[in-house]
Copies of this chain bind each other. A is one copy, B any other.
Amino acid sequence: MLHLPIGEVARRTKLKIPTIRFYEEIGLLPAPRRAPNGRRVYGETEISRLAFIQNARQLGFGLDQIRALLDLSSRPASTCEDARTIAQDNLQIVKLRIAALRSLERELQQILVSCEGGVARDCRIIEALAKLPRVSSERLKPAE
C-alpha cells in the first residue's frame, strides 16, 4: 500500500502542493492520515479522488458541483439522475462557450488583419475595439 508525501502526489497529479492542501481545507479531499512527524501521507484513494476532481474541473465543473457529484457517489444509486443533470447542464454551457469563443476569434482576426503589417500610424486596433458591436455576454478569464 503506497505511502506518498504531498510532493509526490503533486508530481503524479500535476496539481500544486498548496492546491492539494486547499482541497483538503475546503473538504473536497478528506484529511489524510499523518506520519508521526505530522506530515501528510497519501495512498491510492486520495490519488484517484484528486484525479476525479481534476478531470471534473477540466470539464468545466465548479467545485460546488464536484462536491455534489462526490456526495452523490457516496449515496444510493437512485440519485444518479442528478449527476446526469449536472453533466447535461455543463454540456449546454460548453456549447454556448464554444460559440462565443468562435465569434470572438473572428473579431480578433478581423482586428489583426485591419492593421496588418501596417506602419505604426495606420494602426487602428484601439479604434476598432472601441467601435466593436457587442460580441456576447460571455465573460472570459483574462489571459495570463
Contact = CB atoms under 8 A, between A and B. Distances in A.
Interface of A: 14, 48, 51-52, 54-65, 69, 72-73, 77-81, 83-84, 87-91, 93-95, 97-98, 101-102, 104-105, 107-109, 111-112, 115, 118, 120-121, 123, 125-126, 129-130, 132, 134-143
Given A60-B142, A143-B60, A143-B93, A83 B123 contact: yes
B52 A129 contact: yes
A109 to B, nearest CB: 7
Main secondary structure of the interface of A (DSSP, over half): helix
B52 A130 contact: yes
Given A80-B125, A84-B112, A105-B95, A130 B60 contact: no
B90 A123 contact: no
Contact of A135 (B55, B135, B143): B55
B65 A108 contact: no
B104 A101 contact: no
**Most chain B C-beta atoms within 10 Å of own C-beta, residue among A69, A77, A104, A125:** A125
A93 B141 CA distance: 10
Contacts of A97: 101, 140
Contact of A55 (B72, B134, B142): B134
A139 B101 contact: no
A93 B137 CA distance: 18
